[in-house]
Amino acid sequence: MGALCSNLPVESNVFIALGSNQGDRELNLLRAVAEIGKLAQTRITALSGFYDTEPVGPVDQPNFLNGVLRVETALSPRHLLVELQRIETEVFRRVRDVQWGPRAMDLDILLYGDLILEEEGLVIPHPRLHERRFVLVPLAEIAPGQIHPKLGKRVDELLRSLPPGERVTRV
């Protein structure tokens, strides 16, 4: 009879949004994917296409290139966030001085399995995931049936429910 308890880490399916609007945007996204692929106890299982998108928010800035990555990881949500922020700052020299401002790399945890988490500096699912076409289009490409754990709706349903607007073009 097998053991009821194991010390093996439990892996979760996690979706990470990638965005860049400074420098070589495509190279930046590919570098970010490579860096995430180096994380301990983490493996990449899917990558969406890349999409040229208009910036959202009050800051005038260049268009973004966005994508979504699916990984399986045994890292805790907080540890994963720390690693993603390390990649943003160490690899891409991100400085967080203007909210929603231009950046070489933005990495956000969208979904972490079916987890619902609200801590200081970490909210999962991402609080604006269901409102953003630039996230839902690439997410629906790789996981249309994924359920938003808080809203109980599939990603493709969330995408269809968005009002028209917000241009998202596959490159």
Written as one letter, the residue type at 36 is I
- The CATH number given to whatever domain includes residue 137 is 3.30.70.560
Regarding predicted confidence, which is higher, 166 or 28?
A: 28
- Assigned domain for 7 exists: no
The domain of 137 spans 12-170
Supply the pLDDT for residue 57.
75
In a domain, 4, yes or no: no
Give the H/E segment covering residue 83: helix 77-86
80 in a structural domain: yes
CA pair distance 148, 115, nearest whole angstrom? 10
* Residue with the larger pLDDT of the pair 48 and 57: 48
Check pLDDT > 80 for residue 4.
no
For 99-160, the DSSP string reads TT---S-EEEEEEETT--EEETTEEES-TTGGG-HHHHHHHHHH-TT-B-TTT--BHHHHHH
pLDDT digits (tens, 9 = 90+) for 118-127: 999 999 999 9
pLDDT tens digits along 70-110? 999 999 999 999 999 999 999 998 666 656 668 899 999 99
Number of domains making up the chain: 1
- Return the H-helix or E-strand segment holding 66: strand 64-73
Alpha-carbon distance of 107 to 6, in angstroms, equals 32
Averaged pLDDT, 51-78? 92
**Is the residue at 5 inside a domain?**
no
Lowest mean pLDDT, pick from 9-18, 41-50, 72-81, 153-162: 9-18
- Residue 20 belongs to a domain: yes
Domain annotation covers residue 131? yes
Average pLDDT of the chain? 91
Average pLDDT value for residue range 34-63:
92
Catalytic residue positions, numbered: 93, 103, 106, 108
Give the mean model confidence (pLDDT) for residues 48-54.
96
- Return the minimum-mean-pLDDT range out of 22-36, 46-60, 72-86: 46-60
